[in-house]
Structures are given as C-alpha cells and as structure tokens.
Structure 1
Amino acid sequence: MSDADGVQRRRFLKATGGLATAGVLAGCSSGGDSTPPEELGSDTPTESQETDGTETSSNGDQSTLRLINESANTLDPIATVLTTESEKVAQMFDGLVGKPHGTADITNLIAESVDVSDDGTVYTFTMREDVVAHNGDQIDANAVVYSWERLAASDNSTSDYVLLDDLGVTHETDDEGNYVPGSLGVEATGDYTVEVTLSSPYYAALDIMSDVSFVVLPEGIVGDIEGYEGKVAYDQFTSEPVGTGPFEFENWSPDNEASVTVYDDYYGEAPSIDRVHWQVMADPNAKFNHAMNRNVDVFPIPNAQYDSGKVTVEETDDIGRQIGTYGPLQNDETADYLRIAGLSTAFMLFNTNNVIEPARKAVAYVMNHEELSEGAYKGRLTPGYHMTPRSLWPGGPEAAKEHARENYPYGYGESDLESARQLMEDAGYSQSDPYQFEIINTPGATNDQISGRLRDQLSAAHIELTINTAEFSTLLDREFAGNRDSGLGSWGMAWADPMNVLALLYPENTRTTNHEGVSGAPLVGLNWTGTDASQRAREAWQTMQNNKRDTEEDRQIRAGAIRKLEEANWEDCALINYGYPSMERFSYDWVDMPMYGQLGALSKYTNVEIDTEAQPN
C-alpha cells in the first residue's frame, strides 16, 4: 500500500462516527454480558424504559439464556458496526474461521483446514461438506466467494475497508479509487476449496478473517451486488437473516427485544441451550433494576451501583482472567464474576484545527490517569498513556509502563497544574481573558464526571471548558463536519494487532469534511496534518504497513514504528489516552457461562448451561 493510498476513507463511519464518540463499536465490550465503563443514557429511566422486570417474551418450556442489550440497527453481517449487532450476528453466522470462545485462539469453523503459501500471500481453505444454511441451502466454495464479494462490493457494506485495506485482499480500483466489482482475489478452486490472495503477507490475516463481517451466507441470498437478484429482499434480510451458525433467527423488535433459537441441523456441536433472548434497554438504571428483579441471567452493573469492595477474586489464570464472585447484590444474591483486560483503549480527542496546541497540552498536564481510574471508573479501567493496549505493546505491559514513565512529557501519575497554567500564560491567556473550547460527549455519568473534573482543573489554567452532550447521530454529524472541538471516546479492537487502533493516528484518516480536498468521512475527526509530528506519524504508519510479516525482523521494525507513532502523538496531543477499560461479566449462579477472553463480547453461546429449575420464570 502506497503512502498516497493510505487507509481508504471508511464508508462505515458515515453511520457510526467511528471510535470518536462512544464505546459501542464492534469489538467494544458493550454487549449483554459485559460492562462498558461508559454509561450510555441518562440517570433516570424514560417512560419507555421503565420496567417491572417482566420479560416481553416467555421462556415457555425452553432453556433460555436471558440477556440485556441496547438497540441495534441491522442484523446484516456486512453492515454491523455496533457490538449490540455483532453479538447477535455471532450466534447466527459462522465464517471459515472464528473465535467462538472470545479468546485469541483462532478456530476452524466452516473451514476444515487452511494452507498458507511460502510467501504468506495465498490462503487455501478446504471446507467442510456438511454445512447447511438455515434455509436449507448447501454451503460450498461459491457461497464464500459470494459472501466476501458482497462485503467488498455492496453499497450496504460498512466493513469493506477491513477486507480491501486492512486484510489487503488483491483487487482492482477505478480512477477514483473505488473497488471494481468482480475483481476480488477470492476464488473457488473446487466445490469446497477457496483460494484467497493477499497483496502482501500479513501475520494477522487469519485473525482478521475471524471478524464477524467475514461470515458466510447462502449464495445469492440478497440481491445487492452485481449478478444476483436475491432470494429475499434486502430489508427482509436485515431484519430476518438467514445464517449458518448454531442459532437461527426467531424475533427482532429493534427497540424492544431480540431472540434466536437452536438450529437443529447445525454441523458443529449442538448448543446446550434452546434459545437466547435479549431485552433491549439503554438506561443503566433500568438495566440494573431488571437484573435485580432476577429477570435476566447475565447483566451489567453501571458505575453508579458498582462497589469494588464487593468483588472477591478467587483465581487469576494464565491469560489474566480474574474469576470470583460479586456480592451481595441489592437483592441479596451473589453473582459469579469474571474480569479481563480487553483490547480497548479510552481517550480524549481534539480537532486540532479548533483547539490550539497549548490548550491540548494543558489538558495532558492536568489529567491524572490514575485518578481517573480510581475515581470516575471506580478501578474498572487500567490507567494508560499509549493508544496501544498494554498487552500488545512491544515487550508487554511492563515495557509499556516503563516507556511511559521515562518518556511521557506531561507527568506520569500526577496532575501538573502549574505547567498547564504557565503554558497558557505563555500563549497569551489569563484569568480575565481565558481560552475557550467545548467538549461534547454522549450522555452518561462517567463522561459527566470526567468532563466536570477537567473543567474545574482547567479553569485554574486560564481555560474555560464548556460541557455539552448530544446523542450519537448528532455527534457524528458534528465530528464529520469538523465542528466538534473535543470529546471522550473509546475504541474496541476486533483483532490483536496494534495497527487496528493506531490507524486512528494515521493523519490521512483524521481529516474532516471541512478539510481541503476531503469528500468522505474520516476515521476520527482530528485534522492532524501539517506538523512535524504528524509527518513522523505518517512515516511510522507506513513503516508498519510495509513490514507485516511474522518474522523477528519485521516485529522489531514494527516495534520501533509503534513507539515513534505514539511519541509523535504525545508531541501534538491529538489524542490523549488515559486508560484501558476492563471487560466484566456478572451472572447468577443458575447459569454456567464459559469464560471468555479479550474478545469476550463476540463469544458464541453454544456451551452455556442453565439450571432451569433454579432459574426464575
């Protein structure tokens, strides 16, 4: 990939605003069985969210896993961008490979085996021959070609960049850089053999292919790409999808509930439960009340009700999972508890065209990452200084902490108000003539607490910070137009490669639509271009792109580029990382939930077991 190509403008961001708004993108821990650190919604339930704990869908005689989820927009795998969507897609669809246990381990699903060429660019998949979709269609190599072509070519796709750019499957583009339909390097070389050709070797290729956007559909099920009329209308498919996974679609009411039931002809191990039901709720208090009424089996606990003193960790395993109990709850029950550091990062972002450099650096000086962790997040966030999660830092977590302690320019583990004040005075500001900018976030108690603390600290450094909130879609419009000064956000990684998150710091991905020569949406609205530091970031990103092999030489080169890019961001403070949210799961003792890993929100629920006699009806 040439420097001019960069990472192509991401179409999906017109729908999501990317990472820059709230921690609900695919890969983030905001599903029904994990607790995001950001609370989306007000502190008081709306009339439509109030509940007496009665589920709208009865269990009947089935064993039903009862979860809480927020609203989703689609169940089409190529259009999903939110974890609320991906969690459901993961139950109804399988890909060639996947991570059904939410760990880093890649498992063959529809693929029986995979061979990789010596140069690392050709992946040959031999498929199982006993896979039948939920509509009775046989799944063969042509179904894979169709599904991946649809990911690349459909106007409904929000993840085409993952296939074409991040994974780098060979393809052709027109004079405007758009994908040429039918040119994808995915070929059926036999009835059950598929060959995938990459433009260059990439050590994380199979990791990316495990993403939910790469799942396999029955060939021709939707007619939204060239050559296919479609067996069902697109609107029908997005709301009643036909998949290949262990559960099949039962019901979906976007603002109320969703459910799937076991698929009797599944080729793999049959699920231990009959059904999964999600009750749709957005307000944290409504979710908690629903759980305390024992109308759900697995649930989140919002920060307002969370008490770290109620956590008892009985075991920490070899991948860092903390296993124990939480309680007593308000209903006197004790919940089973699981916690693991997820592949996510939390930060404050700035539109560098709107907020001057001294003010951005003043924020960095006053922000105490450790204080944020213990205060606003009640210890549910690990303090950090890099966009790269510590588990992926070259040399591991201790090396990450050492690099930050020795190199972070704005004070490690402290708040330096005097340096912030001096910086703003040198820039010509004073108490009688303060600098002003706005922070705008989605509603939530955690966001409010962080913003309020920053406002109070910055007022002593001659900065007047205005705090506002807006719903998700409004934030997107403002950010893409370049009208969002700053905000709090988080990014959940879908695969374990630092490039997945460091793409946010590639300057070409940060230019908003009010930036000269930009017509598409950015990856994040920083407008971080035109400085020496941003040029170093550009060079570091390109170095990583050019050295993606799984060799010691390439790993060392990438390690140096990661440090260079992170330090360039420190210099200009386009993004200020302050920590890494943990994934936590709380479940009642009548349900046995297998432990997940760093990608837990996308686990399959096939191995869940429920004591139906103990489970309240």
Structure 2
Amino acid sequence: MLLRTAAALALMTTTAMAQQTDIAIGMVLEPPNLDPTAGAAAAIDEVVYANVFEGLTRFGPDGSIQPGLAESWDVSEDGTVWTFHLREGVTFHDGTSMDADDVVFSLGRARAEDSVNAQKALFEGIETVEAVDPQTVRITLGAPNGNLGFNLAWGDAVIVAPESAETNATDPVGTGPFRFANWVQGDRVELTRYDDYWGEAPALESAVFRFISDPNAAFSAMMAGDIDAFPNFPAPETLSSFAADPRFTVIVGSTEGETILAINNAVVTDPRIREAIARAVDRQEIIDGAMFGYGTPIGSHFAPHNPDYVDLTGRAPHDPDRARALLEEAGASDLKLRLALPPPSYARRGGEIVASQLREVGIETEVTNLEWAQWLEQVFKGKDFDLTIVSHTEPMDINIYARPDYYFQYDNPEFQALMENAETATDPAERSALLQQAQEMIADDHVNAFLFQLAKTGVADARLEGLWENAPTQANDLSEVRWTE
C-alpha cells in the first residue's frame, strides 16, 4: 500500500511538472520603454520581439527571414515593387483588427521626418506604401533593394495600431502570441498568453521577465529556482557550476553582437591616434579576463559566422611599441581620454582591462560608470564621450558607419557611397564583394577598436526546450518554449 501510494505521488509530481505553463526569464538590463519603434536599447526587443509585437517578416532562430504578419510576398522583375499578402484574422491585443491600413500607418510613422525610430535608415529607400486592399500592401522603392525583407524583420519595423502607437512605450499593444500584463519598474515585466492569437497558441500561459544586473544575484536566483532561464547570463565564470549540475542546461551560441571600443571620431580626429588605441588593445586578454574565454576576436564590424566575413584581426594586432610610436608621431604622448562604461559586465570588466592596456602605452583614461538610461542619453544621443565599450547586437549593421550623425561620428563619403551600392546590388556576388570592401575600409580607417564577437552564454532549467541557442537578433522568443518531462 505504501509503495503504491509513493508511486502515485511520483506520477502526480511528474505530471504536474510537465504541465507547468509559466516561466521566469532573467535579464541583465531593464528596457527604458517597451516600444521597439521608439528606442535603441536591445532590452526592448528582448522582451517584446515576436512575443508582443510582430512585423511583416521576422527572424527565425537560425537567422533566416520568415513570414510574419505577411504570409507571402511578390517582388517585381526590376526589384522596386514588393507586394505583401497579409494573414487573415489578425487582431491587436485590444481586439481591433490588423489590416493594410495599419501597415501603411506603421511604415509611414517609422520613416516620417519627425520619426524617433532608432533605425530610421532601414526605411530610407521606400518611396510609397499603399493599401491595395485590406489584405494587400504594395511597397515601392526608389531603387532595387533585395534586403527589404531583412530590413522589415527588425524590431524597429513591427506593425502597430494608430489607436495605441503613442502609448506603446508603457502599455504595448501588438499582435503577438503574448499580451502585456504589467510592468513593475525596477523589477519585472509580465506577459500573458493572447487567446485570440492568429497563429498556433504557445504552450506557455504566462511569462515574467525579471531584471537582475548583478552577476552574483543572477547566480543565486538561478540556483534557488527563482529564475527558470537566463538566456544572456552575466556571470560566465560560473557556467561550469551549472554544467556540472543536472538541473540545468548551459546554452552556448553566437550573437550578432560586435563588441567594440567605440571612439568618438569627432574628438579623436587623427587616424594615427585611433590606430594607436587599436594596437594598445589585447583582444584575447579582454576575452579571457572579462568574458572568461567566451568570445571570438574581430577586426572589423562584422560577425564571424556571416558568409561575407573577412578576418581582419591582423590589420591592427596588439603592438604596444607601435602604439607608442604612433602617439609620438601624432604629438599625443600625454593623451587623456574619457571612457564611459554602460552596465553590462563585458563593458565594466572589459573597461578595467582596456584602461590598463591604454595606460601601458601612455594614454590615461577617466573612467565613468553610467546606468543604461544615462549611457543612451549622454553617449548614444548626446555624443558626449571620448571612448566607450558596447556590443552592437543588431543584425548585420555595418551600414551604421554610413551615418555621419551616428554616435561615433564617422563621416566618410566614400564609405557612404560604397554602402549605397551594396544596398542596391541585386547580384549576390557583387553585394558580397562590396560588404567585404566595407569591412576593410573601416578597419583601415581604425574608426573603432574592434574587440570581440559576443558569445551567447545562457543557463536554463534542463526541463525547458525551445529557447534560442543563437541570437540572430536581440530576442527571447517564447512562442516555441515549453516544459518537458
């Protein structure tokens, strides 16, 4: 009798575990707002991309471009007219229908003169967006752009409703499988399953994103079971402990995150000084010291897993003697620069190492630790910095170097023309060659000191499946996540 009761209890426990439908996700940074069309912070997309908001197209977990709110599309022979066919029966979370007029509104808003979209350049080639009928949208381009499907997959291009667009920052209303429930600022964002979702219902009924910036607190929360998964775990030095514990799975993949020592080119105008900074840096020492060996050295702003990648780490290898000579040649032997560091551990830990390496060649740094909102306001928007360390996690974003008003203020008309040609190239081989040339140009100009490609190091409860291994965009897509056992 006792044995039978014990077996029954064990079966009930297993069944209960298999039926779990909630999840707690850990994140290092809290988003400044929840509108991906009105903010540059990666943390926004980490909460809402593919969960709350959707675009005409979307990134799959392998980086492929997949149908989103558009179930299919046609492209004219000359490549300038794209016709998107929208899914039937799509509604926003407030119950209103999503149709072609919402697409016209969303793309018009994103590319408007007064747009606050952080990636407004994605929409620059669009001449008109028209609603052919409620389920059909025609986008006409000024020149062919085979990359439009890619551009429209970004979080910055999601479709929003005119009725709720102005309040999406604090009360987001999208079309995704989860709807916004609550935001306790400084602590968590809560989502619940949207029962009228147009697609397959997710297995999860609710999700909470908890913000834990301290690596020690993140470790404790995972070990205590307060967090079920931490897709971008901030304490890589503890991953071996999780790997040895059968309760957990360690997930190591790649990201789109080019981690750079960004240089304000409007302040450090002499390319010899920028080259000296690049040669002062020992990439592997930073990877080992700040990331505990997780990361791939890079020599330009391009992901090593991309087929068009060129290994340019040899263009500015670690060479303190050459760095000192360049500084002397430029008359900058007693240089002092401000180094502004945002909260992520790769920046704070990496910043200490970079400051030491720069000091070794005669560059003193005034280090300032900034909270994320401060960094966005002062560095990204205000351009009030000399040096900073940040990971650019947007997919294939080398085109930011063609924007003179971008925060590191690189203004090279030759590069801008090169990227314009790459944007309009329809031949894959031609486009590949142009992208490789672009990588070489910014490496030779030493626009920034390129450090490493950020690895995606995550920890999760071993019973979870469906979490992304890699990060083709900054997202925690929960649509396929489920508990097993």
TM-score where L is the length of structure 2: 0.85
2 CA distance for matches of 1:159 and 1:202? 20
Alignment of 1:176-215 (within 5 A): 185-215=128-158
1 CA distance for matches of 2:339 and 2:199? 49
Cα deviation for residue 575 of structure 1 reads 0.7
Cα deviation for residue 346 of structure 1 reads 1.1
Residues 179-231 of structure 1 show CA distances to partners (whole Å, capped at 9, x for unaligned) of xxxxxx1111123111111221212211111222333334x423x7xxxxxxx
2 CA distance for matches of 1:268 and 1:605? 13
SS in 2 for 1:570: helix
Aligned-residue RMSD, C-alpha = 2.9
Alignment partner for residue 585 of structure 1, among 438, 458, 482? 458
Alignment partner for residue 273 of structure 1, among 201, 204, 220? 204
Q: Is the 8 A contact 2:34 2:48 kept in 1?
A: yes
Q: Is the 8 A contact 2:257 2:303 kept in 1?
A: yes
The change in CA–CA distance for 1:125 and 1:447 in structure 2 (over 3 A counts) is: closer
Residues 97-134 of structure 1 show CA distances to partners (whole Å, capped at 9, x for unaligned) of 223x4332222233232111111111112222222332
Alignment partner for residue 109 of structure 2, among 135, 140, 150? 150
Cα deviation for residue 435 of structure 1 reads 2.7
2 CA distance for matches of 1:459 and 1:594? 42
Cα deviation for residue 267 of structure 1 reads 1.7
SS in 2 for 1:379: coil
In the alignment, residue 589 of structure 1 is paired with which amino acid?
A
1:606 aligned partner:
479
Alignment of 1:334-413 (within 5 A): 334-355=247-268, 356-392=270-306, 394=308, 396=309, 400-401=310-311, 404-405=313-314, 408=315, 410-411=316-317
Alignment partner for residue 424 of structure 1, among 327, 350, 375? 327
Alignment of 1:5-20 (within 5 A): none
Return 5+ residue gaps in structure 2 as ranges: 1-16
SS in 2 for 1:149: helix
Cα deviation for residue 481 of structure 1 reads 4.8
Alignment of 1:445-524 (within 5 A): 445-479=345-379, 480-494=381-395, 497=396, 500=397, 502-506=398-402, 509-510=403-404, 522-524=405-407
In the alignment, residue 32 of structure 2 is paired with which amino acid?
N
In the alignment, residue 388 of structure 2 is paired with which amino acid?
G
Alignment partner of 1:221 is 2:152: no
Residues 485-522 of structure 1 show CA distances to partners (whole Å, capped at 9, x for unaligned) of 1121221124xx4xx2x22322xx23xxxxxxxxxxx2
The change in CA–CA distance for 1:536 and 1:121 in structure 2 (over 3 A counts) is: closer
The change in CA–CA distance for 1:327 and 1:148 in structure 2 (over 3 A counts) is: same
Cα deviation for residue 66 of structure 1 reads 0.9
In the alignment, residue 86 of structure 1 is paired with which amino acid?
D
2 CA distance for matches of 1:490 and 1:573? 17
SS in 2 for 1:251: strand
Cα deviation for residue 158 of structure 1 reads 1.9
1:114 aligned partner:
73
| Corresponding pairs, count | 464
2 CA distance for matches of 1:370 and 1:440? 21
2 CA distance for matches of 1:128 and 1:416? 56
Alignment partner for residue 327 of structure 1, among 238, 243, 256? 243
The change in CA–CA distance for 1:131 and 1:465 in structure 2 (over 3 A counts) is: closer
1 CA distance for matches of 2:257 and 2:170? 29
1:286 aligned partner:
217
2:5 aligned partner:
none
Return 5+ residue gaps in structure 1 as ranges: 1-58, 171-184, 225-233, 311-325, 511-521
1:18 aligned partner:
none
Q: Is the 8 A contact 1:80 1:86 kept in 2?
A: no
Alignment of 1:550-589 (within 5 A): 551-552=427-428, 555-556=429-430, 558-589=431-462
TM-score where L is the length of structure 1: 0.68
In the alignment, residue 137 of structure 1 is paired with which amino acid?
T
2 CA distance for matches of 1:459 and 1:160? 36
Q: Is the 8 A contact 1:349 1:576 kept in 2?
A: yes
The change in CA–CA distance for 1:62 and 1:162 in structure 2 (over 3 A counts) is: farther
Alignment partner for residue 258 of structure 1, among 189, 196, 199? 189
SS in 1 for 2:453: strand
2 CA distance for matches of 1:353 and 1:209? 32
1 CA distance for matches of 2:455 and 2:172? 32
In the alignment, residue 26 of structure 2 is paired with which amino acid?
I
